[in-house]
Amino acid sequence: MKHSLLFLSWLFALTTAAQQFQQEFGAARKPFLEVMAVPDHPDSHYSLGEPASLRITVREGGCPLHHAALRYKVGKEMFLPALWDTLTIINGEAIIPMGTLHEPGFLACQWEMDIDGKRQHDLVKVGYTPQQISSFTTMPSDFRAFWRRALAAARRYPLSPLYTDIPDATDEHTVTQLVRLRVGEKKWMYGYLSYPRKQGSYPVVLVPPGAGSKKIFPSDYYPKQGMIYLKIEIHDLNQLLDDAAYQQARERCEGYMHHGLADRASYYYKDVYVGCARAVDFLCSLPQWDGKNVIVTGGSQGGALTIITAALNERVTLCAPFYPALSDLLGFLHGRAGGWPKFFSPHYAGGKADVTEGETTLPYYDVVNFARVLSVPTFMSWGYSDDTCSPTSVWAVWNVIKAPKESDITPTSGHWRFPSSQTRCLEWMKKHLR
């Protein structure tokens, strides 16, 4: 209790001091140090053989910085050299020559500088005719049959949902429950189900998770939009375990993206992909579903599972992935950036170990092949400064989608999205509701 009172006293004093400072001296309306890195083409797109450059501007309190050392590396994305080159900031500016590409893809520039004892850094990428990027992944002749059989096998088992009320996430407008679903013979998933309390019929939204085995959390974002929302995890980890027990349980998931990779029938993601499709079956069994609209959306691994689920489950009507992972997975085998988890890469942990066992399995799991059979309207958003899900791999997916599609490209974003992108996605969903 004593420590709590001391902490609260310290917090109050800090807040009071900040308020007094603002009253006495005024609040800053912009940062004192301003650094910008801008390609010489505003859209970050170049023609093959055209040289690209990156302009770095640095201002302190509005005044140009002089004689700061700027270190940088330039090369094909995810194949940057080990050594740094150096330029000097003169009159607040420096121009980094990025070179060019003679085949479709992305150049990357990683830069850094030390200013007033703090490291400033960023990663900037530019695209060379990305509309012409083609995937190195081919579609197996039995791809569709393989997944039809897998989904049919999973549908032989009842979903048998088990519900737990979540009072802390339930109010007068929204009801939230944790549900456990049986999504295959030996596969279960947990998910937070949230829906409007008001009686009526609503679209359903499935949100698969990003990579890892971290806890997920409920949200009222979609219920406030008049939608039923299910956020799932993929490892059968009880989300109500205390932190210590959860940490112990999730140890079995370590490196899951490599488990069973040698055999397409036993690869870890097989039950995950089918399980996401079964989660859609569950949503469509709810009495509150409007019987018409089924949306899937997510980012990174969740973006990959969004496309996969939309391709596997015939009930899905809208597909909205953000920077999908698991895309163009054979890219590194051909000297080009592939998607997360960067199989076959000489630069990332575990990449080399996969070469002998994954090359025949991964085409069955590559998002590119699911995108090839996608048939529902699709909204996709991604950025170019992403070093987790390379823009090369995302473009490889985008370029094979034949369904009606709309893109939201924000070149300066990395492995995250701007709020405006989420807003645009929601507006697109509402526009396309049946």
Q: Is the pLDDT of residue 351 over 70?
A: no
- Report which DSSP code applies to 79: -
Contact predicate 183/279, CB 8 Å: yes
Active-site residue set: 300, 386, 415
* Dist. CA 73–CA 22, nearest whole Å: 41
Q: Using 50, 70 and 90 to split pLDDT, how confident is the model at 321?
A: very high
Contact predicate 389/305, CB 8 Å: no
pLDDT in tens, 295-304: 999 999 999 9
pLDDT in tens, 10-50: 445 555 555 554 555 555 567 788 899 999 999 999 999 99
What number is the average pLDDT over the span 350-376? 84
Q: Using 50, 70 and 90 to split pLDDT, how confident is the model at 346?
A: confident
Indicate the SS3 state at residue 53: strand
Question: Minimum mean pLDDT among 63-67, 124-128, 370-374: which range?
Answer: 63-67
* Dist. CA 219–CA 222, nearest whole Å: 8
Q: What is the token pair recorded at 124?
A: 């900037």
What number is the average pLDDT over the span 46-71? 93
Judge if the upstream peptide bond of residue 341 is cis by omega within 30 degrees of 0.
Answer: yes
Contact predicate 205/194, CB 8 Å: no
Neighbours of 374 (CB within 10 A): 21
Contact predicate 253/235, CB 8 Å: yes
Buried b (16+ CB within 10 A) or exposed e, 283-313: beeeeebbeebbbbbbbbbbbbbbbbbbbbb
| Alpha carbons within 13 A on the beta-carbon side of 73 | 14
Q: Is the pLDDT of residue 7 over 50?
A: no
* Dist. CA 328–CA 366, nearest whole Å: 6
- Strand pairing class (405-409; 378-382): parallel
E strands, 300-362, in order: 318-322
* Dist. CA 302–CA 322, nearest whole Å: 8
Q: Give the residues across from 125 on adjacent strands.
A: 108
- Strand pairing class (174-184; 187-196): antiparallel
